[in-house]
Chains A and B, each alone.
Chain A
């Protein structure tokens, strides 16, 4: 490597740093705060809670023939307890992205994360 090569390398490093600086976005921008949790029983929305990372609350949903305990913490929603026979909803992992759902079929309870903007967050595209 001679001096010109080092000069080229420094220029590339500078451009990389510049792009990193320009595209850097602090976490928790306004698209995150616009998310909310929609709690539905039998297809009807009975409750709606904002998905604020600072929020920490537990909600009890009365579904068909039982109760579901939902825990909202650090911007994630988790079904912590339910007295349904299959317990599929309890074993579902915590959800945080728009469009993700936890469904308890026996109690006909559905929890979905939605956003005020119609744009959906896509995590991958396959061609």
Chain B
């Protein structure tokens, strides 16, 4: 188990992961200022998946999931909201695992397809937390609306991650260990 979580860390990688984490936290913080799309307290669109997807492509699933967990933890320290931590944590975990798996195994999909799956699972995770916190299964009726919104977010995130990866590769920051 220990060996599984051990990953090779070079200074360059640490710095780039830290920078991407900062971007993810900033995007997540801006997102908390946007009005919520559905009347569920704490539910978010998941725009910061753009960073998680970038890390999954550049480094791999373990780094991506690690960044997702770090992102929601740091975001909780900034916003001070425990409720949105649960939403963010579950959403980010679901999204990062789903994106890692689909990036690995659905080879014909581009980053847009991968992020579509990611944002769907992000919304699914948030709905699970919402039904747990509000103690009502009826909250699942918002899922279809959230999924439709997630398609827009997913396409946006996929296009954004595509550009980031392209430019990082061009300046020689991508695809190294």
Contact = CB atoms under 8 A, between A and B. Distances in A.
A8 B144 contact: no
Contact of A16 (B117, B134, B138, B147): B147
A7 B108 CA distance: 11
Interface residues of A, number: 22
A124 B133 CA distance: 12
Interface stretch (A17-25, A35-43, A64-72): A17-25
Interface in A5-53: 5, 7-9, 12-13, 15-17, 19-20, 23-25
B132 interface: no
A55 to B, nearest CB: 27
Nearest to B155: A1
Contact of A19 (B108, B112, B147, B150): B147
A9 B151 CA distance: 7
Contacts of A5: 109-110, 112-113, 116, 158
A126 interface: yes
A7 B114 CA distance: 12
Interface residues of B, number: 26
Q: Which among B41, B108, B144 has the highest number of chain A CB atoms within 10 Å?
A: B144
Nearest to A17: B144
A118 interface: no
Nearest to B134: A125
B84 to A, nearest CB: 10
A38 B108 CA distance: 64
Given A9-B116, A124-B41, A4 B134 contact: no
Nearest to B86: A127
Contacts of B151: 9, 12-13
A51 B93 CA distance: 46
B168 interface: no
A17 B144 CA distance: 7
A117 interface: no
Contacts of A24: 141
Interface of B: 41, 82-83, 106, 108-110, 112-113, 116-117, 120, 133-134, 138, 140-141, 143-145, 147-148, 150-151, 155, 158
Interface of A: 1-5, 7-9, 12-13, 15-17, 19-20, 23-25, 124-127
